[in-house]
Structure 1
Amino acid sequence: MQNEPTSSITNDSLNISIQDSLFVQVKNLNENISSIHTDLHSHLNQKTDTFFGVSNDTIFTVVFTILIFALGILIDRLLKRNNEQKELQKLKDYFNNQFDDLKKNIVPELRNGYKKFYQETISLDNGVPTTAPKILTNTYDRLSNLESPLLFKTFKNSSDFNTAFSQIDFIKNLMVVVDDYHSIVVQRSETLKSVFVGLDKKYLDKVVEFTEYEKNNNPNYLQDPTFLLLDSKVQYYHQNIIGKRALTDYYKNIIRPIQAQIVSTNLFRTHPVGKEISVLGRDISHQYNHLRMLYIEIRSQYRYFTQVLNRTISKLESLNTE
């Protein structure tokens, strides 16, 4: 009987404890729900600054992105422009280096070669060299290949650019003209000389024939001035002319004296060999004069080429390519 009250008390205490625990949990749950409800209500009712319905944060992000993109483009263009300026400067430096070589060395040297050609080299005795004076260089081509809109930008004056390249093309084309002209006159000279050489052999043979004829038919040939003259010229020819470049000497000291003697003594009409000598001498004189006129023409032409290059040098020096 004593155990029943005790058991009842214990059960009541347990029930009270359970009820307290449930009460606490329900209370906590209500508080959490209330907090969530407050936060949600606050979030839903929070006022945000906007610009035409777009938040400032969004506007800032978009504007900042655009600015970064634009700045990147600007920096890229500046870098490209800087690189382009460096490349243009390299191009201009290379052009000026080649151009200075052209106007200070190549063209003056070529001009001097032409000058020496017509003053000293070309003559009846020396003949015409097989090739014209030239400078072995690719500078003309290199400079011509540099002509471009990019290089044009580096010139302060467009007329200087145009003049520079027109002169470069002129010099390059002049070399072709000179070479073509020289090839023609070399051929003409060789043709005239070959005819001259053929006549020369026949002429000397006739002069020797004349002296032999006189020996056989003129008992006084040793006192005959014509025989003595022609015989001395045969000896002179073998001593001073044959095998040498002595065309002028040959004409002046052999052909002309013999022709004058044959004509003045009327032997070109009365002597059986004298007539043939006079005809051959006349033909040789014609060929000699053709050669002389050709060489005068060649020297005059190279004198003109020299004057042209003098004017070209003056134009090149007056240009501002910096």
Structure 2
Amino acid sequence: MQNEPITNITNDSLNISIQDSLFVQIKNLNENISSIHSDLHNHLNQETDTFLGVSNDTIFTVVFTVLIFALGILIDRLIKRKNEQADLQKLKNYFINQFDELKNNIVPELRNGYKKFYQETISLDKGIPTTAPKILTNTYDRLSNLESPLLFKTFKNSSYFNTAFSQIDFIKNLMVIVDDYHSTVVQQSETLRSVFVSLDKKYLDKVIEFTEYEKNNNPNYRQDPTFLLLDSKVQYYHQNIVGKRALVDYYKSVIRPIQIQIVNTNLFRTHPIGREISILGRDISHQYSHLRILNIEIRQQYRYFTQVLNRTISKLESLNTE
């Protein structure tokens, strides 16, 4: 029984020794884990200087931000450039559409109008229309307003651009020249015709007065060639001239035959009324000559306008507006 306490003490000491050794080992293990954890933490969070004391993370962040900013600017510029190119193409398409209309329809139609004007429309009988041939369109103005540095960029050849707009301006100015010219010659023609009309009435009155005078003073008036001629011309005038556009026929069939008869018979000197007829006939002949010359000049001028537009059409067709 005495040995039991000793045995118990020995066992307790052994247990304590074992417990102390286990505690030490656990403590050391914890310290090692803590050390590893601390090293790992320091390693993961340490700042490594790469350039002027700036970390890789900072450099990456800055560079990435700059790249994103630059890429945004580049994309924005590309979008703007694409939109500008689209707008330029729309502008070019509109120009080509208007230019083709001018080249293929408007100018040729105007040229044909001038050609018909001098070949068929203008005459002594018909007179001159109050307005010049024209095409009612604003294409000239629309095209002129398109001239710009932007449109210039769309032309492969700058000389085509310059030629195109020089021809557009030329056509536009030609319309003004033609209108001014036409207004002038219409006024001149109307002035000459008004004088002609006033002389015409006086002339016929004198011719009728001559026939009445002969009836009252010439017993043989029915056999008198001058009386018979003038009397027949009065009838011809009322049947074929009055109310008609027959200026040429009036001059050739009435005025000239009477003038020739009055001069050949010397009645412009010997007959009291014959002299007045000859003077009025002379004045009418001068007016008729002025009108005829004016009409010839107008026809020649419109023939020139036609030739100008022919050359213009050739130039327009030779241009490459692509």
> Does the pair score TM above 0.5?
yes
In 2: Cα distance, 1:71 partner to 1:97 partner: 39
The structure-2 alpha-carbon separation of the partners of 1:52 and 1:113, relative to structure 1 and needing over 3 Å to count, comes to: same
Q: Which amino acid aligns with 1:65?
A: T
What's 1:274 paired with? 274
The CA distance in 1 between the partners of 2:302 and 2:200, in whole Å, is 30
Q: Which residue of 1 is the match for residue 292 of structure 2? A: 292
Tell me if 1:258 matches 2:258.
Answer: yes
CA distance in 1, matches of 2:254, 2:217: 24
Per the alignment, residue 58 of structure 2 pairs with 58
Residues 78-157 of structure 1 aligned to structure 2 (within 5 Å):
78-157=78-157
How much does 1:47 deviate?
Answer: 5.8
Change (3 A) 1:223 1:52: same
Q: 1:102 to 1:46 in 2, by over 3 A?
A: closer
Q: After superposition, what is the alpha-carbon deviation per residue over 1:203-257, rounded to whole angstroms, capped at 9, x for unaligned?
A: 0000000000000000000000000000000000000001100000000000000
The letter of the residue matching 1:82 is K
Q: Distance in 2 between matches of 1:103 and 1:52?
A: 70
Q: Provide the secondary structure at the position in 2 that maps to 1:164.
A: helix
The answer as to whether partners of 2:91 and 2:151 remain within 8 angstroms in 1 is: yes
* Structure 2 residue aligned with 1:206: 206
**How many Å apart are 1:49 and its aligned residue?**
3.7
Deviation sequence 1:36-95 (CA, Å, 0-9, x none): 9x949x749946242111111101110111111111111111111111111111111111
Alignment partner of 2:91: what SS?
A: helix
User: Match for residue 238 of structure 2?
Assistant: 238
Counterparts of 1:78 and 1:271 in 2: how far apart (Å)?
Answer: 99
Q: 1:10: which partner in 2?
A: none
Aligned partner of 2:10 in structure 1 is none
* TM-score normalised by the chain length of structure 2: 0.87
CA 208–46 in structure 1, closer or farther in 2 if over 3 Å, else same: closer
Report the Cα distance in structure 2 between the residues aligned to 1:48 and 1:118, rounded to whole angstroms: 96
Alignment of 1:173-184 (within 5 A): 173-184=173-184
**How far apart, in 1, do the equivalents of 2:314 and 2:321 lie?**
14
Q: Which residue of 2 aligns with 1:158?
A: 158
CA contact (8 A) 2:47 2:55 kept: no
Structure 2 equivalent of residue 19 of structure 1: none
Aligned length: 293
> Following the alignment from structure 1 to structure 2, what is the Cα–Cα distance between the partners of residues 120 and 101?
27
* Letter paired with 1:213: Y
Q: Distance in 2 between matches of 1:260 and 1:67?
A: 105
Letter of the 1:48 partner, please give it: T
Q: Which residue of structure 1 lines up, in the alignment, with residue 248 of structure 2?
A: 248
Quick one: distance in 2 between partners of 1:104 and 1:274?
A: 61
> AA paired with 1:242?
V
Given that 2:164 and 2:316 are in contact with CA atoms closer than 8 Å, whether structure 1 keeps it comes out as: yes
Cα distance, 1:47–1:217 mapped onto 2, change above 3 Å: closer
Distance 1:72 1:205, change over 3 A: same
Q: Using the alignment, how far apart are the partners of 1:142 and 1:61 within structure 2?
A: 55
Structure 1 residues 253 and 75: CA distance shift in structure 2, 3 A? same
**Matched residue, 1:185:** 185
- In the alignment, the residues of structure 2 paired with residue 120 and residue 46 of structure 1 have an alpha-carbon distance, to the nearest angstrom, of 103
Separation (CA, whole Å) in 2 of partners of 1:160 and 1:127: 42
RMSD: 2.1
| 1:68 aligned residue | 68
SS state at 1:50 partner: strand
Q: Does 1:310 align with 2:306?
A: no
Moved more, 50-59 or 190-199: 50-59
Are the structure 2 counterparts of residues 47 and 68 from structure 1 closer, same or farther at C-alpha, using a change threshold of 3 Å?
A: closer
Mark the runs of 5 or more structure 2 residues left unpaired by the alignment. Answer: 1-26
Relative to structure 1, the CA distance from residue 290 to residue 160 in structure 2 (aligned partners, 3 Å threshold; closer, same or farther) is: same
Say whether 1:168 aligns with 2:168: yes
Mapped to 2, the partners of 1:51 and 1:108 lie a distance apart of: 76
